[in-house]
Structure 1
């Protein structure tokens, strides 16, 4: 089974190769690593990885701010 956080990092790096790496505390919004154009595609990726729908109305922007926040909101809850 593929590590979903690795897939998230690959998605971000695929659109921002100049980053070189995606630290877990990098602010993905302020750094524009995930911009408004990529956000919907990123939601689809999260849905695919979690197997659940992600309703943008039910999440906070801070849920997407860092890799650490994404992991806590979308992947750690599922493991618990």
Structure 2
């Protein structure tokens, strides 16, 4: 796991003490691991980790649904 993705996982686990680990395909939205109150803070974290602004008008919840989706949308594009 990359360092940015470790920070993402740490953020989510830190706000969900009932979760010990997160599988890459675990649904973060339906499980409420990322709820509406934490979502804005989560967006700020992703902006800090990627160095790019995230336009709220362009948000697709599927990009945030799983760790795999987050990595593909925000981190693998940079590596390509």
Q: TM-score, normalised by structure 1?
A: 0.95
Unaligned runs of 5+ in 2: none
The alpha carbon displacement at 1:75 in A equals 0.3
Unaligned runs of 5+ in 1: none
Map of 1:30-49 to 2, 5 A cutoff?
30-49=30-49
Map of 1:43-62 to 2, 5 A cutoff?
43-62=43-62
Which 4+ runs in 1 deviate beyond 6 A? none
Aligned length: 79
CA distance in structure 1 between the partners assigned to 2:56 and 2:8 by the alignment: 18
Q: TM-score, normalised by structure 2?
A: 0.95
Q: Alignment RMSD, CA only?
A: 0.9
